[in-house]
Amino acid sequence: MSLPPLVEPAAELTVDEIRRYSRHLIIPDVGVEGQKRLKNARVLCVGAGGLGSPALMYLAAAGVGTLGIIDFDTVDESNLQRQIIHGVSDVGRSKAESAAASIREINPLVKVEIHNTALDRDNVREIFSQYDLIVDGTDNFATRYMVNDAAVLLGKPYVWGSIYRFDGQASVFWAEHGPCYRCLYPEPPPPGMVPSCAEGGVLGVLCASIGSIQVNEAIKLLAGIGEPLVGGLMVYDALEMSYRKIKVRKDPDCVLCGENPTVTDLLEDYEDFCGAVSVEAQEAVVDSTITALELKEWQDAGKDIFLVDVREPAEYEIVRIPGATLIPKGEIISGEALSRLPQDRQIVLHCKSGVRSAEALAALKAAGFRDAVHVQGGVLSWIKQIDPALPAY
């Protein structure tokens, strides 16, 4: 399926532009007209992180006339392994500002619009409506569903990508011509089922593999060339080095873009819809949560506690709270590790940020360990409050 160009061509290219884009202009399928369309295009990149970095850099180099960047985060040292639009001197700086500075260095002819804010229910329509196309580089399900819903409600196409460890996926969602994200994934995964990149890691270069697919598709849509990835899902396995293209059909029963939609407006609360923490875990932590400071006090006072680190072995290698025993969450949830837990000591669970330990706490309480508690904020809180010399990862 080919689609008409998304953008009308600009009136003309300047001499500077002809020189700069000459390698595009001599491709017959792009040509002067295609480049003029890119010049007139307005593309919004949601997130200037792993996917947003290569996407923004190549969109800028390609001569997309206006690039919007929405990101409220600041650059952290742990971003630099993959977020190549930022550098050492940008650590601590707003990601949107840092990305804008890099874009100006790559191509000063590009106009950059900075949205230094969190995308939310109240601003998403107003921001999206200013652009022809959205590139989604978000890393969490709540924002992803909101991006999808807003794009469908506004009739905008968007290029989606996702990355985890060695695996990547990409697609173009455009309800007018094909499926939306909800057709592919009607329900968010249960809380705690799919680890984030912060929990599970991501190979840095994977961002380039998926981000470049996103830019490729964006350019095709804007200029109306080739076959867009509408109705197709690219699945990339970096370990096998395989790309597979899977057909995705529009779901006639899709609650958003199907024949009888029941979702006709943005949801009230996407965090709630995706459930950052399961109901069981939310209940389990009530009156069973201690702070890192309290844990330290218990340790210093010689209280008889059994401290369990429910993260994965690789994380335990990087940094650990003194005295912690490693028992990954999965072994607690499955019940496999329960026999290794003492019945007569105060059990204290912790993970990296407090989400996984809350899930494990729910399982422990259900198994009869009524007095077990977990540490709010996990290792990250410990580092912040007790030992800032340890590496936050």
Verify whether residue 45 is a known catalytic residue: no
Give the nearest distance from C-beta 259 to Zn ion in angstroms: 11
Name the residue nearer to Zn ion (CB basis): 183 or 210. 183
* Residues 203-242 as x/- pattern, contact with Zn ion by CB under 5 A: ----------------------------------------
Verify whether residue 351 is a known catalytic residue: yes
* Residues 317-356 as x/- pattern, contact with Zn ion by CB under 5 A: ----------------------------------------
Catalytic site residue from 180, 197, 257, 274: 197
Number of residues counted as binding Zn ion (CB under 5 A) = 6
* Numbers of helices and strands, H then E, in the chain: 17, 13
Cβ–Cβ under 8 Å, residues 94 and 101: no
**Segment interacting with Zn ion, rule: CB under 5 A, options 163-171, 257-265, 304-312, 372-380:** 257-265
Tell me the torsion sign for CA atoms 251, 255, 258, 259: positive
Residue 373 binds to Zn ion (criterion: CB under 5 A): no
Catalytic site residue from 183, 207, 274, 351: 351
**Segment interacting with Zn ion, rule: CB under 5 A, options 3-11, 45-53, 234-242, 252-260:** 252-260
Name the residue nearer to Zn ion (CB basis): 254 or 361. 254
Give the nearest distance from C-beta 147 to Zn ion in angstroms: 13
Name the residue nearer to Zn ion (CB basis): 182 or 350. 182
Which residues are within 8 A (CB) of 322 and not within 5 positions of it... i.e. 6 or more apart?
299
Q: How far is CA 30 from CA 91, 222, 254, in A?
A: 38, 11, 35
344: part of which helix (H) or strand (E)? none
Give the nearest distance from C-beta 179 to Zn ion in angstroms: 5
Q: Which two tokens stand for residue 80?
A: 């630099």
Among left, alpha and beta (phi > 0; psi -120 to 50; other), residue 172 is beta
Helix (H, G, I), strand (E, B) or coil at 127: helix
Name the residue nearer to Zn ion (CB basis): 94 or 162. 162
Name the residue nearer to Zn ion (CB basis): 63 or 232. 232
- Type of residue numbered 11: A
Q: Which two tokens stand for residue 268?
A: 């009230």
Q: How far is CA 243 from CA 20, 53, 209, 338, in A?
A: 32, 22, 10, 41
Which of 3, 110, 254, 285 is the binder for Zn ion (CB under 5 A)?
A: 254
Q: Which of residues 123-182 bind Zn ion (CB under 5 A)?
A: 180, 182
**Segment interacting with Zn ion, rule: CB under 5 A, options 70-78, 112-120, 186-194, 251-259:** 251-259
Long-range contacts of 152-158 (CB under 8 A, 24+ apart): 152/180, 152/182, 152/256, 152/257, 153/125, 153/264, 153/265, 153/266, 154/125, 154/128, 154/129, 156/128, 156/131, 156/132, 157/6, 157/133, 157/221, 157/230, 158/133, 158/134
Name the residue nearer to Zn ion (CB basis): 186 or 322. 186
Residue in the structure block whose two tokens are 């580089």: 137
Cβ–Cβ under 8 Å, residues 289 and 330: no
Which of 25, 48, 159, 183 is the binder for Zn ion (CB under 5 A)?
A: 183
Residue 257 binds to Zn ion (criterion: CB under 5 A): yes
Name the residue nearer to Zn ion (CB basis): 180 or 372. 180
Residue ranges binding Zn ion (CB under 5 A):
180, 182-183, 254, 256-257
Residues marked active site are found at 197, 351
